[in-house]
Copies of this chain bind each other. A is one copy, B any other.
Amino acid sequence: MKKTASELNGVKEIARRANVSIGTVDRVMHNRKGVSDATRLKIEAIIKELNFQPNKMASLLATRKNMNFAVLIPAVSEETDYWSYPLNGINQAAAETNQFGVTVKPYFYALDSKESFNRVAEEMLKDEPHAVLLAPSFVEDSQVLAKRINELGLPLAFINSDLAGQDNLTYIGPDLYQSGRLAAQLVSFSLKPLDKVLIINISADLRNDHHLVRKEHGFKKFFEETRSATHISTLNISETKVCVVEEALTRTLNADNTIKAIFVTNSRVNIVAEILKKHRRNDLLVGYDFLEKNIDYLKSGQIKYLICQRPKEQGYLGIMALYKHLYNVSEVERFVYMPIDIITKENYQFYNG
């Protein structure tokens, strides 16, 4: 059944009105060269007049576009299953974009090894992806990598932590300062007048872990601004072994028995929980991340609050950002800050990570 001229759809209708072939319309739509200014202008005017949006599905079908996205993130380790959550989100996005020809390939590096990071990055680049999702660790090495990716003209999305001065498409992750403030507020709600607060930073590489510093800063700032007289001290521990943490922590707690609340600036809060439990203490303990170990202590009451920043959603949104950019679905925001979630014993069941 033929259509009357006036009810043609899409490119055909435009071609009819402009008195050209659909091939030429296509050329103008995609700013390809080889079209006279006169026809180009004429066609552009008609496109504008009709507010024409090309049919994405037809276009995808005709191009049989196939894109592979590389994902460079830490491997799930013995110590932490944190990275399984972003990976879940990434896989979900992969499943949803698969029908549009997207293939997602993850490359895992060891969180404690620069060598592994660089080796795996090389591997990834060799596979010539069309876009990269990166969780940057090792600031300098990540910067070098980001530069190379930029030079290749590939869209680059960061999750989990940002890298200043890079030409990346988007950053999707937490606002660390504000999460520290939130932790402080939660502590403040339960604190009695003379209680003291202890901040604990646990990291094998304290100097380079600017994450912890930003959280600590937010935490302290909250108490400053509320003109609280609460005494706050900081304990830095540069090893992640339980016995080392235990020794340092015990010494500190024994020296001052008015410490009633403890803020651990990362997911290692479970180490502190284990120690407090052993010593039958019941301090107000606040830490980070929806890890199995941490949830266990949440259930037992040893940890009161966990602060989480939707790691799964970060992964999901990271892939979707690349997809939306490359398939012209919509504009992508340069900064996407995750909501800061508070998890307790009474709501962890419904949290998806």
Q: Which residues of A contact B (CB under 8 A)?
A: 55-58, 60-61, 99-100, 175, 178-179, 181-182, 184-186, 189-190, 222, 304, 337-342, 344-347, 349-352
Contacts and interface: CB of A to CB of B under 8 A. Distances in A.
B346 A175 contact: no
A185 B344 CA distance: 9
10 contacts: A57-B60, A57-B61, A175-B350, A178-B350, A179-B347, A181-B346, A185-B346, A189-B190, A339-B352, A340-B346
Given A57-B99, A178-B350, A341-B342, 11 more contacts: A55-B61, A55-B99, A56-B99, A57-B60, A57-B61, A184-B346, A222-B346, A337-B350, A339-B352, A340-B347, A341-B347
Given A58-B61, A60-B57, A350 B345 contact: no
Contacts of A341: 339, 341-342, 347
A103 to B, nearest CB: 15
B347 A178 contact: yes
**Which interface residue of A100, A184, A346 has the most chain B CB atoms within 10 A?**
A346
B182 A346 contact: yes
A55 B185 CA distance: 52
A294 to B, nearest CB: 16
This chain's copy number in the assembly: 2
B190 A344 contact: no
B340 A350 contact: yes
A332 B340 CA distance: 28
Given A57-B100, A99-B57, A100-B57, A189 B346 contact: no
Contacts of A181: 346
A32 to B, nearest CB: 22
Nearest to A186: B344
**Which interface residue of A100, A178, A222, A340 has the most chain B CB atoms within 10 A?**
A340
A347 B352 contact: no
Contacts of A99: 55-57
* Those 8 A-B pairs whose CB atoms lie nearest each other, nearest first: A182-B346, A342-B342, A340-B347, A57-B57, A185-B346, A339-B350, A181-B346, A56-B99
Nearest to A185: B346
Contacts of A350: 175, 178, 337-340
A304 B189 contact: yes
A345 B184 CA distance: 11
Nearest to A351: B339
Nearest to A100: B57
A47 B349 CA distance: 40
Contact of A347 (B56, B60, B189, B339): B339
A222 B301 CA distance: 14
A91 to B, nearest CB: 13
A312 B99 CA distance: 26
Contacts of A339: 341, 347, 350-352
A184 B347 CA distance: 12
Contact of A182 (B61, B222, B337, B347): B347
